[in-house]
Structure 1
């Protein structure tokens, strides 16, 4: 579907929000964009980079957004059968003090590792190779029981970068380039800056003056925050996070990465973490993506997978610029002022007559459920009365489907046929769904009282 231009009032509101952030937070420069319908529909820049306003091609360091690329590579290895998420890290990289922490726990920051690598402040000093870094890590760096809680760890993603390198037989960066950047056409995402790029600065807290920040190669810790990128490239990555994967990963895998594995604030659940993606609940939207910060830079990509709308923002200031809040506001502005039109309803192009005959009411015991036929032989089962369990199902064979969400996520739905081939009932994870409440011909477990329904 072609991207329609935004209304001038919407563009003005977006620019106003960016301009206010840059001025109020004193960012040397700030670049932001909005993604919708498969591309950038708006971008804006304030401040100066080499005397000019930043553009969609100006590089900024994106910090921990780098982690999402590492996570995507790990999930590719999982989908290829080369990594088990529940396997211990030591199965793939032996000899560490955290060998028993699982790959999934490292992806979700639930392994209990220390937040930062031992030694000097890694973000501001030249990095070391993995062998030296690994030797520095002792049991003292295990701060929590694995799986107990969310505890953000840059060290854990340095470790995952090493896992990728060993299993691919190349550096983590070469794997990122070959498996993600090149297929997605992201030509301006690099491990070190390439012009045009912003310089990193700290802004004095009490005066309008700047201090240049260093930008070293973090080496073994680089998978935690090394990459530089542009609005154009991150726009493509935002679409990836939302499920437009370009064949790099199956959309179901990316959806799995967006599922909450741990939450940061369990009482309210406004922020959490999946398998490589940060998650946030903001104004009735469930956002996925990642924030990033390195000395001199902050960045954020937030995507609303429900609508495919995303906000991107980058600034060359060490702290003070609220780019996560800015991105959430950009999504809110465009969604409020120009809500997306629903897709046109169209009838199915073809239909399986037997599946069509299956539609309608089925009963789980006495409780009615409606079965609807969707496209591509997908079906949905939903409660007719208030409450109850429902799911969508994707076909896995002529008479079988797998649940995609809700209570029956991952469970198998199976048609049970009579000797003549006609449908007797549906078996969903041992629950029997029949055409009539407790149908005596449907092999109801425990049997059905032969006297049938009665009045008291």
Structure 2
């Protein structure tokens, strides 16, 4: 693919020229304003890389989508996928204590799920010296990442980002698989996804990392350290082309790697909110961001000399990637979010065409229409898929989509009723009586006297 530099490019099956120019302009502004040696970005639509652009400090030179950059904490989302694969295989549960799979640490009571969501209460960093700038040989054993007092908060009480926590998860993967975590990653994730340019150590062509002076237009190279047991927290290198594949995977999963339903589980908020960052959240190894009314999922990353971000909007069927080779300066997280927003606003996604169901069970059609919870009015719509949508007709109220189960009940998929069971209750003669939703009774008329409303009701005069 041709890379846009100082002028917009149009790609086969790609974006409109005006959209491409707006994207290139936004990237160029960030490289200049952030004083970055280079910035490279990409936009993914429906699983394919449809635009890429880059800007560097060298006239006439621009990195392409095959240049490796260090991606820092984006590594955590890869490790999380390895853990979720073990979960799906029944090798571990998210409620399992760490001690069950990695004996001998001083934090064995925290759970696998708490480590994934950064709610374990473990310290953010290792004991001195700072692990990102020192050789991993200083921490030869996984226990060396914890120190004498690793617990900073009660487990499960708050989100407290922990790099050592993901070192522990990498060690769990290695122990259960019987081989290094990065070998497992290569075999189980990178190879099946075709991510041949993602690796633990840089492979040419790879960008060099730099520190840019905050008060002067000068820069010096940053040293690249191999971080040893801390590698699962931020060691990987990758490219825009490979991360486009990763963005597509985070949107829809891939059979043989991780099912779409499991990836969807990872995207769900799993950590309490933080009042200092109301637009940010965290799932299971996945960051969540609200930006311009959109929910974005993915991860940011930084290591000395490098910055990285991948954001995905499921609703817009879009993803964006940004990489830079400097320790600080450009806001690549904001840049990726805005590349995605520019594309979504300029070229909004077309909805799937409405199509009627080939056939629907008459018993389902009998459920369609108005229902009442007490005096609150609701509407139930039957979808072509056989799913049910239940939502308030007026005012405020709780609604959700229900998915049919093999036993004929329906399970809520979102909101207040997520995971709750909807049952159809019939009278002895087979006629429809009411709906039972977690003990809430929905009737065809407000406080229907012919339905068993809890607590009784005197009737309408």
For the Cα contact (< 8 Å) 2:69–2:207, is it kept in 1? yes
Residue number among 272, 282, 292 corresponding to 1:283 in the alignment: 292
Aligned twin of 2:316: 307
Aligned to 1:227: 236
**Which one of 401, 405, 409 corresponds to residue 410 of structure 2?**
401
Once the 2 structures are TM-superposed, how far is the Cα of residue 48 of structure 1 from its aligned partner?
A: 6.5
- How far the C-alpha of 1:130 sits from its partner, in A, is 7.5
Q: Does 1:183 align with 2:192?
A: yes
Give the one of 313, 323, 330 matched to 1:321. Answer: 330
- The corresponding residue for 1:453 is 460
Output the CA distance in 2 between the equivalents of 1:82 and 1:66. 22
1:201 lines up with 2:210 in the alignment: yes
Q: How many Å separate the matches in 1 of 2:58 and 2:308?
A: 16
Q: Report the equivalent of 1:168.
A: 177
For 1:136 and 1:20, how far apart are their aligned partners in 2?
Answer: 39
Deviation at 1:23, TM superposition (A): 2.0
1:264/1:354 Cα in 2 relative to 1: closer, same or farther (>3 Å)?
A: closer
1:57-456 matched pairs, under 5 angstroms: 57-128=66-137, 132-135=141-144, 137-246=146-255, 248-262=257-271, 265-266=274-275, 269-449=278-458, 452-454=459-461
Instruction: Give the SS at the match of 2:296.
Output: strand
**Contact 1:183 1:246 (8 Å CA) reproduced:** no
Q: Residue deviations 1:361-420, cap 9 Å, x none?
A: 122233222111113211111111211221101111252111001111001112223344
Per-residue deviation, 1:263: 5.1
For residues 193-250 of structure 1, give each alpha carbon's deviation from its aligned partner in whole angstroms, at most 9, with x where no partner exists: 1111111122233444332222232221000001111111111111222234455323
Which structure 1 residue ranges, 5 or more long, are not aligned? none
Q: Does 1:14 align with 2:23?
A: yes
Is this contact kept in 2: 1:425–1:433, CA < 8 A? yes
Give me the whole-angstrom Cα distance separating, in 2, the residues matched to 1:136 and 1:177: 24
2: CA distance, partners of 1:340 / 1:447: 49
For residues 138 and 202 of structure 1, do their structure 2 counterparts lie closer, same or farther at Cα, with a shift above 3 Å needed? closer
Instruction: State how many pairs are aligned.
Output: 451
Judge which range, 186-195 or 111-120, deviates more: 111-120
Query: Are 1:49 and 1:198, in contact at CA under 8 Å, matched by a contact in 2?
Result: no
Residue pair 2:323, 2:332 contacting (<8 A) in 1 also: yes
User: Does 2:34 match 1:30?
Assistant: no
* Alpha-carbon distance change, 127 to 268 in structure 1, aligned in 2, over 3 angstroms: closer
Q: CA deviation at 1:14?
A: 0.7
Partner of 2:5: none
Of stretches 198-207 and 329-338 in structure 1, the one that deviates more from structure 2 is 198-207
Cα RMSD over matched residues? 2.3
Of 350-359 and 434-443, more deviation after overlay is shown by 434-443
- Could you tell me whether the CA contact under 8 Å between 1:129 and 1:220 is conserved in 2? no
**Partners of 1:14 and 1:330 within 8 A in 2:** yes
State the alpha-carbon separation in 2 of the partners of residues 353 and 131 from structure 1. Answer: 66
Q: Distance in 1 between matches of 2:60 and 2:393?
A: 63
Mapped to 2, the partners of 1:398 and 1:352 lie a distance apart of 15
Relative to 1, partners in 2 of residues 1:28 and 1:263: Cα closer, same or farther, differing over 3 Å?
A: farther
Once residues 423 and 435 of structure 2 are traced to their aligned partners in structure 1, the CA distance between those partners, rounded to angstroms, is 6
Instruction: Tell me, yes or no, if the aligned pair for 1:88 and 1:100 is still in contact at 8 Å.
Output: yes
Query: 1:301: Cα distance to partner?
Result: 0.6
* SS of 1:293 mapped into structure 2: strand
Q: 1:400 to 1:264 in 2, by over 3 A?
A: closer
CA offsets, 1:52-93, max 9 Å, x none? 421111111101000001112222222222222222211211
| Distance verdict in 2 for CA 1:192–1:118, change over 3 Å | same
Q: CA deviation at 1:183?
A: 2.0
